[in-house]
A and B are shown apart, each in its own frame.
Chain A
Amino acid sequence: TVVTQEPSFSVSPGGTVTLTCGLSFDSVSTNYYPSWYQQTPGQAPRTLIYNTYTRSSGVPDRFSGSIVGNKAALTITGAQADDESDYYCVLYMGNGISVFGTGTKVIVL
């Protein structure tokens, strides 16, 4: 199972960027319980979004999750310099199996 994300995105400070998370064989829906994680180099992941839309505790509201077309999406509205990170989606496949996406590197410049 391959969960595909864009390799990289550039965004200007204050700008908006939408990252997506797709499946090779199916449309992503809420039934896959998409979640999103932020990781800076050398650090552990940080949970941003779970169950498609819900922000984890302490996550700024400039991060939002949704379904866009046939993919899960993470939107950063009003990007800040410290949003420069790698972002991973995870889809739950059932039977206890989770799959990470390929990851997107977000550059803020």
Chain B
Amino acid sequence: EVQLLESGGGLVTGGSLRLSCAASGFTFSTYAMAWARQAPGKGMEWVSTINHYGNTYYADFAQGRFTISRDNSRNTLFLQMNNLRAEDTAVYYCAKRDKYFFDSWGQGTLVTVSS
């Protein structure tokens, strides 16, 4: 059974935060992984994807501020978020990608950015 467990969220005043997603139940190194987010009361929004080669892709709002990475030896996905803004306040979800869609989801971790 695929399990994705996010951690690292919390309250931050500007600055930076690093999210982690511990994966189990599948061969982590062979799958693309992604982050998506949902601001309070708003819709879902794709943030970033990293494929199994390590190629990275970002939404416009994340480009230059967020960095997605993975450690295949630890079956862990990361999202380094710098220069955080109030509008980055959201629940951040880790997702396993299967080619063109998200096939499994974590429960999410809440990031609150206080100005």
B101 contacts A103, CB within 8 Å?
A: no
- B55 interface hit (Cβ, 8 Å): yes
Q: Which of B7-15, B16-24, B43-51, B74-82 lies on the face that meets chain A?
A: B43-51
Given A96-B49, A96-B51, A97-B57: A47 in contact with B43 (beta carbons within 8 A): no
Interface residues in A, total, Cβ within 8 A:
24
**Mask of B89-112 contacts with A, CB within 8 angstroms, 1/0:** 000010000111111111110000
B49 contacts A33, CB within 8 Å?
A: no
**Mask of A79-109 contacts with B, CB within 8 angstroms, 1/0:** 0000000101010100111111111000000
- A35 interface hit (Cβ, 8 Å): yes
- B84 interface hit (Cβ, 8 Å): no
Q: Nearest chain B CB to A103's CB is how many angstroms away?
A: 4
Q: Nearest chain B CB to A2's CB is how many angstroms away?
A: 12
A102 contacts B102, CB within 8 Å?
A: no
Q: Nearest chain A CB to B55's CB is how many angstroms away?
A: 7
Of A33, A45, A46, A101, the residue contacting B100 (CB under 8 A) is A33
**Mask of A35-55 contacts with B, CB within 8 angstroms, 1/0:** 101010000111100110000
- A8 interface hit (Cβ, 8 Å): no
Name the A residues within 8 Å of B113 (CB-CB): none
A44 contacts B103, CB within 8 Å?
A: no
Name the A residues within 8 Å of B101 (CB-CB): 33, 35, 47, 50-51, 90, 92
Of B44, B56, B93, the residue contacting A103 (CB under 8 A) is B44
Who on chain A is nearest to B103 by CB?
A: A47
